[in-house]
């Protein structure tokens, strides 16, 4: 590295390692030079910190509960897939595949990519494992990270998380409606009050006719289109409808609408979906310009939005889905209908945080084990294992020696009882049990500590 290059680095991080004690050689290979700046997370990626975890646990639990209630089995597919899966499945001229994929050639010459979404992977697994031979429909769900090399901004990351539900092997519109109901219940179960926008893209033929009508409409407005939208007009005209250009709202208002181009069967299918939603009372909005960004959708499409004070959040989708009757065939399987949805957990987590900025602490315990002196500490270490093995919720702060500091931790962790073991108790074979509410104390036989505490907690003892 030239001295020119290294200077700004030194300036930026001056003082970082100045007061650090020398690190063992193992940790400094390559050597940590004075002036090196700490390594940061890669752009567009982020850490989900312990303070984020309660929200994530809430979302995972709710997704799992919905999967149980509606009979979806979990499937986990790899994060890396053959690149051609996404070209065929998601579509070559979609933004996702064209601009946003992390993909590379392996040393063995395979062209692979990080999954930008999971529907194509689940459909691949359905075909590969012969799930066509199982009773249909096959209902699968998954949760995990997706990767898109998009420009990072609020609510948009390069690694983000989705919970997805797919129902493969059934063409009936009740499936589309029930998927909307499942996603609605999932979001409602988390305390959100979202709105769903729905539309139908029809069959490939009506979609093509509509596309042509759209192209001829926008050709007439070509001079008013941005450079990006001019490209869309040629490559993927449906995507013009979710262009974020300021004048697009106005241009769209006069544009042809898909409903007027729907084939009879798709129209009837869509009407049935809406009737089912009415039956259950799902508050939906018809959006004739909702197209979704992926090629594989046919007929029903939908997208969820938050009702939020945060404008950024209110405008960005929490998730979406739709029917994809051609996908399985595109991937080399027998023609098989399917439908599904994906919810964006990062954006839902932001909404949950907005609603409940201080999630309940998850480190509460029933019993806290305090110790005094080296003998007490040793005894408490063993006792902790006994309690833990017996399935009791127990806390400790073995590295602390002051009883006052340990009591403070016991209080913070809302312990109902604190057990104190000092030198005298070790020699007597006893333990002091302090009721944290009343402050009263009693002495128990240390050998029977687990049994005694189970009794106090009203748990079944043998
Ligand atoms: P999509 O199928 O592309 O509409 O994605 C479904 C949901 O995933 C979206 O509604 C978002 O909530 C979420 N999502 C998509 N891309 C990103 C991203 N780059 N960062 C965070 N969340 C995302």
| pLDDT value of residue 65 | 97
- How many C-beta neighbours within 10 Å does residue 179 have? 24
Residue 4 has what pLDDT?
37
Weakest-pLDDT range from 309-318, 333-342, 359-368: 309-318
3-state secondary structure of 303: strand
pTM here is: 0.85
Ligand 1 centroid to Cα of residue 309, in Å, is: 20
> Average pLDDT for residues 289-297, to the nearest whole number?
83
End-to-end Cα, the chain, rounded Å: 70
20 pLDDT more than 60: no
Mean pLDDT calculated for residue range 370-382 = 97
Q: Which atom of ligand 1 is closest in space to residue 117's alpha carbon?
A: 2
**Contact assessment for residue 48 and residue 145, using Cβ atoms and an 8 Å cutoff:** no
Q: What is the mean pLDDT of residues 173-191?
A: 97
Residue 93 pLDDT exceeds 60: yes
Residue 252 pLDDT: 86
Q: State residue 11's pLDDT score.
A: 37
Q: Using CA positions, which residue lies closest to atom 9 of ligand 1?
A: 319
The per-residue pLDDT for 6 is: 37
User: What atom of ligand 1 comes closest to residue 150's alpha carbon?
Assistant: 19
3-state helix, strand, coil split of the chain in percent (to 5) is 45, 20, 40
Task: Report the range of poorest mean pLDDT among 122-126, 362-366, 448-452.
Answer: 362-366
pLDDT for residue 292 is more than 90: no
pLDDT at 462: 60
What pLDDT band is residue 342 in, cutting at 50, 70 and 90? very high
Q: Which of 160, 163, 348 to mutate to test the pocket of ligand 1 (most atoms within 8 A of CB)?
A: 160
Whether the predicted pLDDT of 416 surpasses 90: yes
Q: What token pair was written down for 100?
A: 């946003």
Q: How open is the CA angle 448-368-439, to the nearest 5 degrees?
A: 90
Which whole number is the average pLDDT over 385-400?
Answer: 96
Residue with the smallest CA separation from ligand 1 atom 10 is: 319
- Protein residues with CB under 6 Å of any ligand 1 atom: 117, 148, 150, 155-157, 160, 162, 293, 317-320, 342, 344, 346-347
Cβ neighbors of 276 (< 8 A, separation 6 or more) are 173, 174, 177, 178
Of 229 and 1, the structure prediction assigns the larger pLDDT to 229
- High-pLDDT (> 90) share of the chain, %: 73
pLDDT at 170: 98
pLDDT digits (tens, 9 = 90+) for 297-319: 899 999 999 987 766 666 789 99
The model's confidence at residue 152, banded by pLDDT at 50, 70 and 90, is very high
Average pLDDT value for the chain: 90
pLDDT band at 59 (very low <50, low <70, confident <90, very high): very high
- Ligand 1: which of 163, 317, 322, 323 to mutate, most ligand atoms within 8 Å of CB? 317
Asked if pLDDT for residue 247 goes beyond 90, the answer is no
Nearest-CA residue for ligand 1 atom 5 is 319
DSSP E strands in 31-183: the ranges are 73-74, 80-82, 103-105, 111-114, 138-147, 159-168
Instruction: List, in sequence order, every residue forming a beta bridge with 146; answer none if it has no partner.
Output: 160
The pLDDT score that the predictor gives to residue 137 is: 98
Query: How far apart are the CA of 234 and the centre of ligand 1, in A?
Result: 25
Query: What would the 3-class secondary structure string for 342-356 be?
Result: EEEHHHHHHHHHHHC
The alpha carbon of 285 and the centre of ligand 1 are apart by a number of angstroms equal to 20
Q: What pLDDT does residue 7 have?
A: 38
- Helices vs strands, H then E, count in the chain: 17, 16
Q: Give the contacts of 302 (CB within 8 A, at least 6 positions apart).
A: 180, 196, 197, 198, 199, 284, 290, 320, 321, 322, 341
Domains of the chain with bracketed CATH: 53-203+263-355 (3.30.930.10), 367-456 (3.40.50.800)
| Residue 461 banded pLDDT, cuts 50, 70, 90 | low
pLDDT band at 228 (very low <50, low <70, confident <90, very high): confident
């Amino acid at each position: 590295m030239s001295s020119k290059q290294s200077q700004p680095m030194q300036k930026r991080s001056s003082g970082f390692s100045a007061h650090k004690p020398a690190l063992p050689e193992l940790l400094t290979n390559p050597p940590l030079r004075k002036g090196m700046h700490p390594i940061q997370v890669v752009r567009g990626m982020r850490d989900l910190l312990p303070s984020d975890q309660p929200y994530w646990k809430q979302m995972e639990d709710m997704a799992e509960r919905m999967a149980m209630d509606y009979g979806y089995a979990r499937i986990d597919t790899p994060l890396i897939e053959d690149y051609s899966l996404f070209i065929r499945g998601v579509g070559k001229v979609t933004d996702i595949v064209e601009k946003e994929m992390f993909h590379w050639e392996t040393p063995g010459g395979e062209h692979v990519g990080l999954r930008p979404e999971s529907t194509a992977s689940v459909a691949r697994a359905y075909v590969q494992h012969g799930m066509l031979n199982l009773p249909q429909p096959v209902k699968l769900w998954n949760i995990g990270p997706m990767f898109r090399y998009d420009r990072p901004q609020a609510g948009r990351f390069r690694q983000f998380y989705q919970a997805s539900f797919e129902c493969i092997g059934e063409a009936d519109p009740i499936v589309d409606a029930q998927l909307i109901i499942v996603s609605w219940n999932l979001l409602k179960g988390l305390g959100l009050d979202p709105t769903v926008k729905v539309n139908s893209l029809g069959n490939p033929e009506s979609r093509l006719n509509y596309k042509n009508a759209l192209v001829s409409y926008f050709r007439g407005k070509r001079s008013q289109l941005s450079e990006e939208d001019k490209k869309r007009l040629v490559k993927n005209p449906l995507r013009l409808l979710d262009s974020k250009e300021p004048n697009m709202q106005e241009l769209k208002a006069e544009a042809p609408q898909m409903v007027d181009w729907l084939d009879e069967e798709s129209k009837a299918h869509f009407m049935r979906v809406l009737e089912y939603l009415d039956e259950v009372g799902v508050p939906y909005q018809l959006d004739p310009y909702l197209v979704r960004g992926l090629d594989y959708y046919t007929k029903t499409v939908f997208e969820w939005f938050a009702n939020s004070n945060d404008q950024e959040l209110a405008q960005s989708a929490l998730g979406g889905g739709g029917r994809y009757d051609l996908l399985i065939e595109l991937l080399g399987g027998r023609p098989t209908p399917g439908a599904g949805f994906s919810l964006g957990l990062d954006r839902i987590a932001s909404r949950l945080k907005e609603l409940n900025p201080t999630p309940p602490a998850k480190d509460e315990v029933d019993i806290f084990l305090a110790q005094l002196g080296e003998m007490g500490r040793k005894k408490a270490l063993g006792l902790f294992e006994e309690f833990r093995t017996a399935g009791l919720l127990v806390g400790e702060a073995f590295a602390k020696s002051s009883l006052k500091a340990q009591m403070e931790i016991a209080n913070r962790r809302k312990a109902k009882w604190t057990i104190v073991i000092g030198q005298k108790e070790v020699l007597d074979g006893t333990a002091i049990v302090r009721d944290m509410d009343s402050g009263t104390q009693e002495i128990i036989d240390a050998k029977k500590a687990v049994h005694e505490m189970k009794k106090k907690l009203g748990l079944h003892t043998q």
